[in-house]
């Protein structure tokens, strides 16, 4: 019987701790053995030797956090031996700071298990072995009460695109029954625990909300599965701007997705049409609780992985072709409204609103040359810092933004 060993760093944040344990707990014990190491450190010789022996499938959970906290401090030989013995479980957005910074480390691993099919496509384009491990419904997402006392909820990091969106529409949200909760994602890797709500508080907020919406944080076409599952598991309508990787969910049936130009008007539309919002939320909830249960998805994925089949499309075949359906009546009404509404931003290319509901949007992957250049510059800085640390020299950096000063040495 094959064994999967999940490696959790002592400094792993609550986001990845939850996902890692959710996947580990969903594995059928009659098919596979599971080991969970909650305080793994490659500086522990005994633990390190056990991992590099490769007597099972080693999985580093939240690999960007692990590399940022411990991986960069290991000797090159030890780091290479560790990564080449492990698969990396992650879900950072391609082109984001954390992927750009640690991409060279990711390339050294046996492969990547990513919770986004979009990221899998990106890593494969770089020649990296990658598989899509689909997130699904689990009880750890469900809040205790669903009173629905809040109309609209946003939970996420405060990035520039999101800051621009909320500042532009601050009057509406401040006068509405809305809760906007932002986190500071600039905090260094491994020290981000304080920026996350505890799971119980987060679940209660979602369960008490009618609409949970997302604003793309990095300007990339990326469907945030974790946020979507929180919404759908708690019978909320989930609204996002255009993205890739939402299959097997169907836009317009299980959730709502529109061009960022019209995201605000769409949120306002569903806040005013509550019966319609509740109807779509109910369909989304029914679908994830019946078709996207984590135990089912995990064991389908592992069967594909160990049989050397392409698991990238393991769950995306459900209701294949449904995204090409004709718009429903309510969608036609919303289309008419949006077509008469000036777009939010002239910086984003306009799309035909009807296409939002009839076919997935097409996006280009991030510019690889730009990513590689940022990676090269980062490695140069890192080499200098490692050399200074090794020589016990002090080094300082002056930053205009006060919140970064505490991370300088």
386-404 tens-digit pLDDT: 676 666 655 444 444 443 3
Residue 97 is predicted with a pLDDT of: 74
| Whether the Cβ atoms of residue 9 and residue 41 lie closer than 8 Å to each other | yes
- Residue-wise pLDDT for 82-102, tens only, equals 999 999 999 888 777 778 888
What whole-number distance in Å separates Cα of residue 10 and Cα of residue 204? 27
Residue 96 is predicted with a pLDDT of: 75
- Sign of the dihedral through C-alpha 39, 43, 45, 48: positive
Where along the chain do its domains lie? 3-132, 139-292+326-358, 368-407
Q: Do domains 3-132 and 139-292+326-358 have the same CATH topology?
A: yes
Average pLDDT over residues 333-357: 52
Residue 348 is predicted with a pLDDT of: 35
- Locate tokens 């035909």: which residue? 352
Q: Is the pLDDT of residue 381 over 80?
A: no
Confidence of residue 187 (pLDDT cuts 50, 70, 90): low
What whole-number distance in Å separates Cα of residue 131 and Cα of residue 80? 21
Residue 321 is predicted with a pLDDT of: 36
CATH topology for 3-132 is Rossmann fold (3.40.50)
Closest among 193, 333, 183 to 272, alpha carbons compared: 333
What whole-number distance in Å separates Cα of residue 52 and Cα of residue 211? 46
Pick from 205-209, 332-336, 344-348 the range whose average pLDDT is largest. 205-209
What whole-number distance in Å separates Cα of residue 366 and Cα of residue 75? 31
What whole-number distance in Å separates Cα of residue 314 and Cα of residue 212? 27
Q: Which has the minimum average pLDDT: 126-130, 251-255, 405-409?
A: 405-409
- Residue-wise pLDDT for 287-323, tens only, equals 999 999 999 999 999 998 988 644 444 333 333 334 4
As to burial, measured by CB atoms within 10 angstroms (0-12 exposed, 13-18 middle, 19+ buried), residue 403 is exposed
- Per the prediction, the chain carries an average pLDDT of 80
For 139-292+326-358, which CATH superfamily applies? Glycogen Phosphorylase B; (3.40.50.2000)
The torsion angle over the Cα atoms of residues 135, 136, 137 and 142, rounded to 10 degrees, is: 20
- Residue-wise pLDDT for 51-88, tens only, equals 999 889 999 999 888 888 888 888 999 999 999 999 99
Residue 197 is predicted with a pLDDT of: 77
| Backbone φ and ψ of 50, nearest 5° | -65, -35
Residue 14 is predicted with a pLDDT of: 84
């Amino acid at each position: 019987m094959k064994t999967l060993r999940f490696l959790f760093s002592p400094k792993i944040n609550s986001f990845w701790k939850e996902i890692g344990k959710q996947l580990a707990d969903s594995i059928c014990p009659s098919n596979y053995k599971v080991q969970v190491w909650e305080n793994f450190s490659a500086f522990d010789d005994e633990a390190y030797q056990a991992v590099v022996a490769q007597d099972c499938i080693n999985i580093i959970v939240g690999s960007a956090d692990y590399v940022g906290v411990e991986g960069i401090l290991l000797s090159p030989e030890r780091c290479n031996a560790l990564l080449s013995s492990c698969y990396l479980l992650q879900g950072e957005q391609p082109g984001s700071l954390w992927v750009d910074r640690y991409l060279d480390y990711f390339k050294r691993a046996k492969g990547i298990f990513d919770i986004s099919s979009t990221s899998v496509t990106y890593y494969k384009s770089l020649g990296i072995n990658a598989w899509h491990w689909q997130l699904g419904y689990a009880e750890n997402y469900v809040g205790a009460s669903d009173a629905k006392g809040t109309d609209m909820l946003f939970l996420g990091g405060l990035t520039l695109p999101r800051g621009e969106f909320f500042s532009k529409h601050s009057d509406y949200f401040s006068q509405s029954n809305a809760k906007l909760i932002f986190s500071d994602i600039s905090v260094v890797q491994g020290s981000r625990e304080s920026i996350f709500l505890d799971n119980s508080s987060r679940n209660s907020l979602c369960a008490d909300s009618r609409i949970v919406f997302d604003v793309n944080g990095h300007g990339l076409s990326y469907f945030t599965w974790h946020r979507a599952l929180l919404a759908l598991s708690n019978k909320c309508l989930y609204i996002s701007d255009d993205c890739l990787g939402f299959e097997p969910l169907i836009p317009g049936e299980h959730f709502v997705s529109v061009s960022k130009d019209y995201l605000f008007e769409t949120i306002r539309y569903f806040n005013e049409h509550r019966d319609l919002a509740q109807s779509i939320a109910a369909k989304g909830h029914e679908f994830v609780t019946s078709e996207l249960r984590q135990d089912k998805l995990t064991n389908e994925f592992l069967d594909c992985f160990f049989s050397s089949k392409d698991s990238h499309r393991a769950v995306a075949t459900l209701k294949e072709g449904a995204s090409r359906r004709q718009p429903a009546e309510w969608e036609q009404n919303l289309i008419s409204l949006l077509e008469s509404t000036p777009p939010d931003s002239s910086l984003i290319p306009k799309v035909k609103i009807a296409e939002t509901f009839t076919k997935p949007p097409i996006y280009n992957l991030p510019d690889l040359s730009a990513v590689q250049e940022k990676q090269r510059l980062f490695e140069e800085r890192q080499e200098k810092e490692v050399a200074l640390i090794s020589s016990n020299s002090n080094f300082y950096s002056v930053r205009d933004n006060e919140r970064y000063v505490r991370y300088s040495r």
